[in-house]
Amino acid sequence: MPEVMDRGNDFRQMCAAAGAGHNRRMIKSLLALHIAAGSIALASMLVPMIAVKGGRTHRRAGWVFVASMSIVSVTALLMSGARVLFDTRPEARTFGYFLLVVALLTGAAVSAGVRVLRFKNRTSARVHWWDTGLPLLLAAASLALGVDGITRGQTLYIAFAVLGLLNATGNLRYWLRPPASPMHWWFEHMNGMLTGCVAATTAFLVIGGSRLGIWPLAAWLTPALIGAPAIAMWNGYYRRRFASRDATSIPNSQVTNCQNSQFRKLGVGSLGIGS
């Protein structure tokens, strides 16, 4: 693990590298905003999971989560970018690039999870500078991180490079191909949101891991190792459930009109435990 994982000393070094006092204050303000938004995201992420899909509670809590994770991603990009540009420690700059990739991964997942709802009725491929550009940027950044991780022998970097590439290729395949079923947006929306939940949980474990006696590498990787198979199982479960109710035979034009009644007929929230 990188030595910069000593958070207290690392933060002092990063502030010192920022130079002028106003830069240090800016970093401290960004960090405070980052932590506050992450705390709100962590507290709100369970509500959309258990609320009835498409209901008022689901939508409101979901937007709180999305807004919070957006702030988390933007502040993380700014702080990691500042580390890459201004920190004089070579290892810290490399770790800053790793954090930048993690921020891109989080932002791309949550963005895709929201954007698919806007274009749920599409019937053809969609090429857009944001929808396809963001995963392309993530893929390039992840590839560079993976090469660096292999060179340095850093398991953490290699693991997140793989996660970034998988997320990027999945998003590109989704946008660059016509929808395979009327419920395409359901699965892509939940994949994005649940990936955001994994990211929020990871941040919580990383920040609190030292106090809880958790090995840093385990704190970084455990949520993904558990979350990825869980999301895959969830996808399989709902594909079978929708198929059993002939939901996939509903034309896209009718899905929007009947989605709330269909979800209430299923009687499920996002994870199948709503009422």
- pLDDT at residue 121 in the model: 92
Render pLDDT for 6-18 as a digit per residue (tens, 0 to 9).
454 555 555 555 5
How many residues appear in the chain?
275
- The mean pLDDT of the chain is 84
- pLDDT at residue 28 in the model: 87
- pLDDT at residue 24 in the model: 77
- pLDDT at residue 8 in the model: 47
Quickly list DSSP for 194-255. HHHHHHHHHHHHHHHHHHHT--HHHHHHHHHHHHHHHHHHHHHHHHHHHHHTTGGGS-HHHH
Confidence of residue 103 (pLDDT cuts 50, 70, 90): very high
Count the Cβ atoms, other than its own, within 10 Å of residue 54. 15
- pLDDT at residue 46 in the model: 94
Q: Give the max Cα distance, the chain.
A: 63
- pLDDT at residue 202 in the model: 95
How far is residue 96's CA from residue 153's CA, in Å, rounded to a whole number? 17
Render pLDDT for 168-214 as a digit per residue (tens, 0 to 9).
999 999 999 999 888 999 999 999 999 999 999 999 999 877 777 88
- pLDDT at residue 122 in the model: 93
Is 268's pLDDT higher than 50? no
Average pLDDT over residues 127-142: 97
* Residue from 32, 18, 131 nearest 84 by CA: 18
- pLDDT at residue 249 in the model: 52
Confidence of residue 3 (pLDDT cuts 50, 70, 90): very low
Give yes or no for a contact between 41 and 72, defined as CB atoms under 8 angstroms apart: yes
High-pLDDT (> 70) share of the chain, %: 81
Is 256's pLDDT higher than 50? no
Q: Is the pTM of this model over 0.85?
A: no
How far is residue 26's CA from residue 196's CA, in Å, rounded to a whole number? 26
